[in-house]
Amino acid sequence: MLQPTAREIGEKRSESRGRSWSGGPGPGGPRPRPMFLNVVVLGGGSFGTAMAAHIASRKAQMEVHMLVRDPVVCRSINDNHCNHKYFPDHELPKNVVATTDAQTALLKADYCLHAVPVQFSSAFLEGIASYVDPALPFISLSKGLELNTLRMMSQIIPRALRNPRQPFIALSGPSFALELMNKLPTAMVVATKDKKLANAAQQLLASSYLRINTSSDVTGVEIAGALKNVLAIAAGIVDGMHLGNNSMAALVAQGCSEIRWLATKMGAKPTTITGLSGTGDIMLTCFVNLSRNRTVGVRLGSGEKLEDILGSMNQVAEGVSTAGAVIALAQKYNVKMPVLTAVARIIDNELTPKKAVYELMNLPQVEEV
């Protein structure tokens, strides 16, 4: 006999779930006192696994369910408390449980962390929409833009779930999954227009080694998180071509300006682009070898073909797909973005890295803005 879906019982549960993060009566209400009992993580990749381990390690009584696609990974997590594919040397907390069944994972969820790559998110979410409570807050870990639609995750999630009021939070900032697994000091940002929800997400995620700031600038946090991956590919290309530190600094500075120009045209706050989710994430992704997007760029700059690079990787480099959206965004908002659009042209085989450098160095001399 089929159990009722979360949508069918949503009305009965949404009120009690709402109390888990909403303030009390009156202006402002008391400081929220969340009751975090059940958290579901969608996706079994490196960052989803790291966040599942982080949340589960904070409270032993909390249940963290990972919805994964690969039955081998599912068995590894449940039988050996280890995601052998991404973290073979790390033991997961006992209260992290994996499943391949969406209904099982979502039925009692109080929070949902979305860690599915952006380009696959719409189809994935449409497939599980009937099990999602309309009041279930989604915390998106995915950074990027949907290629054909230019949508951000704040637009993809409610559209795919057919619920324009689905509570949404963007989580972003300079953070490698491996360092989070190793409990090294990290700082990130949660962005949502609902201040009480932001405070609740902050309490859910913050720990002695993970600092969580809050922001109401969802657009700024999302667009910075998406475009920094494209800039990281450009930085990697410079490194792969051995062009030196001067050119690296100049390119990243120009890329930061391009991201700021576009983001502010889209309604973002300039201060967001200079904060953790902007400059902070850009520095980490552009300059550190753990970055998948930087690695793609290094190999492109060294002369490898894109298809060979992607075929050898076991994780998604979101910047490759996001680059395809950059040219359309630049045209839509009438913003000149020579560095980021050059990456898109290299990926589309319209331009070689060497030719791209020549074109960039021969742009008209301009006043710095």
pTM tops 0.75: yes
Classify residue 54 as exposed, middle or buried by CB count within 10 Å of its CB (0-12, 13-18, 19+). buried
Residues with catalytic function? 228
Burial label for 100, CB within 10 Å (0-12, 13-18, 19+), is: middle
Contact 30, 24 (CB under 8 A): yes
Sheet holding 186-191, edge to edge: 96-99, 63-67, 38-42, 111-114, 138-140, 168-172, 186-191, 210-215
Alpha helical stretches, state H, the chain: 6-18, 46-58, 71-80, 102-106, 118-128, 153-160, 177-181, 195-205, 218-240, 245-265, 270-273, 281-287, 292-301, 306-311, 318-332, 338-347, 353-361
Residue 286 is predicted with a pLDDT of: 97
**369 residues of the chain, pLDDT tens digit each:** 333 444 443 444 444 444 345 443 333 433 444 455 799 999 999 999 999 999 999 877 789 999 999 999 999 999 999 999 999 999 999 999 999 999 999 988 999 999 999 999 999 999 999 999 999 999 999 999 998 999 999 999 999 999 999 999 999 999 999 999 999 999 999 999 999 999 999 999 999 999 999 999 999 999 999 999 999 999 999 999 999 999 999 999 999 999 999 999 999 999 999 999 999 999 999 999 999 999 999 999 999 999 999 999 877 788 888 998 999 999 999 999 999 999 999 999 999 999 999 999 999 988 887
Q: Which of 197, 150, 74 is nearest to 330 (CA)?
A: 150
Distance CA(43)–CA(213), nearest Å, equals 24
Q: What integer pLDDT is reported at residue 7 of this predicted model?
A: 42
User: DSSP assignment of 275-294, as one string?
Assistant: SIIIIIHHHHHHH-TT-HHH
Question: How many beta carbons lie within 10 A of that of residue 23, not counting itself?
Answer: 17
Angle among Cα 336, 318, 66 to the nearest 5 degrees reads 145
Q: What structural domains does the chain harbor? A: 6-21+36-216 (3.40.50.720), 220-361 (1.10.1040.10)
The maximal CA–CA distance of the chain, rounded, in angstroms, is 71
pLDDT in the model for residue 23: 40
Alpha-carbon span 102 to 84, nearest angstrom? 22
Measure the CA angle with vertex 45, ends 102 and 212; round to 5°. Answer: 95
Using an 8 Å Cβ cutoff, are 41 and 25 in contact? no
Query: 125-129: which pairs have CB atoms within 8 A and are 24 or more residues apart?
Result: 125/156, 125/157, 125/160, 125/161, 126/160, 126/161, 127/102, 128/42, 128/67, 128/102, 129/7, 129/160, 129/161, 129/162
- Contact call for residues 72 and 47 (beta carbons, < 8 A): no
pLDDT at 2: 38
From the CA atom positions of the chain, what is the Rg in Å? 21
pLDDT given at position 96? 97
Residues 44, 73 contacting (CB under 8 angstroms):
yes
Q: Bridge partners of 190?
A: 171, 214
Beta bridge partners of 140: 114, 170
For strands 186-191 and 38-42, give the pairing: unpaired
Please say whether the dihedral angle defined by the alpha carbons of residues 340, 44, 40 and 186, taken in this order, is positive or negative: negative
Q: Are 202 and 49 in contact (CB under 8 A)?
A: no
Q: What pLDDT shows up at residue 62?
A: 87
Please give the C-alpha separations between residue 31 and each of 197, 198, 205, 207, in angstroms, as whole numbers.
11, 12, 16, 18
Closest CA to 45 of 94, 113, 126: 113
